[in-house]
Amino acid sequence: MKAPTMHKMRFLLFPAITAASLAIAQNTGVTAEAKGTANVRAAIGTDAPILTEITVGTRYPVLARSQFFPWILLGTPDSLQPLGWVFLDLVTVPAT
């Protein structure tokens, strides 16, 4: 059996986001807005499937941040449900 590549292994480092951890993150009030257009992905990494696209003008709640990579998990503005992961350089996150 072929050993997994480092590329595939990095996805194994991220446990599922639990409802309890989202509840804590939702209460922070931190938001992010696209600098232009940004892909929202199903997982961390540019090879992960694109779920949707965000554009400048809408602020999205930040639900979580990767511990090891510069990616954040965004939620929907109205229901705070997880939307997907975005590379941090593609959004602005105001200082709190």
Set out the domains of the chain in order of their start, with CATH numbers.
Answer: 37-90 (2.30.30.40)
Amino acid letter, 10: R
The pTM for the full model equals 0.72
What value does the mean pLDDT of the chain take? 79
Pick the residue with more confidence: 18 or 93? 93
Contact in structure between 11 and 66 (CB atoms under 8 Å): no
Phi-psi label, residue 8: left if phi above 0, alpha if psi -120 to 50, beta otherwise: alpha
Could you read off the pLDDT of 5-48 as tens digits, one per residue?
444 433 333 444 444 444 444 556 899 999 999 999 999 999 99
Phi-psi label, residue 67: left if phi above 0, alpha if psi -120 to 50, beta otherwise: alpha
Q: Which pLDDT value is given to residue 18?
A: 46
